[in-house]
Amino acid sequence: MPTDYTDRRTMRLDVEFYFAAAHRLPRYEGPCFRLHGHNYKFFVGVEGEVDPATGMIADFGKIKEVVAEEVLSRADHRNLNDVLDNPTAENIARWIWEVLAPRVTGLCEVRLYEIPDCCVTYRGPGGR
C-alpha cells in the first residue's frame, strides 16, 4: 500500500563532512599563533518542506557534490591561511556558509568542530 506524503511540514536534514587542514591565527596571542593542524568535522543543515513527489527536502548526493566542489577541494589538506586572512573557527564556518549559500537551497546552518569537544555554529545573515 503506497504511503501518502502530502504532509508538507518543514523538516531539517544534516550532512556531515570532514577535512584536515593547517592554519595559524595571526591576531591571537597564544599557541595557536604558530602553524598547527586540525581534523575538522562540520555539518551542513538544510531546512525545507518535504516535496510530496520525492518525499525529500533535498538530495544528500547533491549536497555532498556541492560541498566537495566548493569547500573540500579548497580546504582539505591545505593551509587555511591561503584561503582566509584570519582562519578562526568562526571565520571558517562563515566562509563555508558563504560559498555554499548560492548553491544549497534551504541552507540554514553550518556547525564546525575544530576539536572533538568544541564547535561554532553559523546560521547566516540574520540567523539566531
State the catalytic residues: 32, 77, 114
> How far is Cα 113 from Cα 2, in angstroms, rounded to an integer?
41
**What sign has the CA pseudo-torsion 85, 88, 91, 93?**
positive
Closest CA to 65 of 100, 96, 90, 37: 100
Distance CA 14, CA 111 (A): 10
Phi, psi of 124 (to 5 degrees): 80, 175
